[in-house]
A = this chain, B = another copy of it.
């Protein structure tokens, strides 16, 4: 392994969407063959990272379930403007997760992941719980006793539904589809068009358009 352990640990904590325990950090090295690093080696790397961040806008923070990296309070004033500047929007992953919980409740996170085919970040679950659109409805009696999620009264209220059965069935969704393709395209285009114009001002991106032209010129007229 040519890559320093510290680099791997830093990158892992930074990209993970939940805190990582020392055990999980050690586990990252298990498939390499040979002895995985000792706990003390991991601890030293973490201490060294902490030092690196001393003068920076981020910090290493130990919480109950492990270590995470977070922005410091000293930069919060500026970072918060990321959201005031443009209206917040939920990610596709969040909407899909919410939809799956609505249709397939009560459901565990693992089951959501197997339907979506990708992992569901803790952020998404946390955001949905904070918004009180989903709740833990119970625990499945299998190893690990995973929580099962269900939608809440607040969810129904927000979407103006009396009960879940007011949601279209799968078959209805599919039909809706064929009829509504055009309807769906139209508003999309207007919004996107406007956004593109605005973005165009950003000089950074002008290369994109020339690239497209360059390629289409390469087409033969034959």
Q: Are B192 and A136 in contact (CB under 8 A)?
A: yes
Number of copies: 2
| Contact residues, A163-222 vs B (CB, 8 A) | 163-167, 170, 173, 176-178, 181, 184-185, 188-189, 192-193, 199, 201-202, 204-205, 207-208, 210-212, 214-216, 218-220, 222
Minimum-distance CB pairs A-B, first 6: A165-B211, A7-B57, A11-B57, A164-B211, A163-B207, A136-B189
A contact set with B: CB distance below 8 Å: 2-3, 7-8, 10-12, 14-17, 20-24, 27-31, 55-58, 62, 64-66, 69-72, 74-75, 78-79, 81-88, 91-92, 103-105, 113, 117-119, 122, 126, 129-131, 135-138, 147, 150, 152-153, 156, 162-167, 170, 173, 176-178, 181, 184-185, 188-189, 192-193, 199, 201-202, 204-205, 207-208, 210-212, 214-216, 218-220, 222
Offer 27 A-B interface pairs, CB within 8 angstroms, sorted by A.
A3-B78, A7-B55, A7-B72, A8-B75, A8-B79, A11-B57, A12-B78, A14-B58, A15-B79, A16-B82, A21-B202, A24-B85, A27-B81, A27-B85, A28-B78, A62-B204, A66-B204, A83-B119, A85-B113, A104-B216, A152-B192, A163-B207, A163-B211, A164-B215, A166-B211, A173-B220, A176-B222
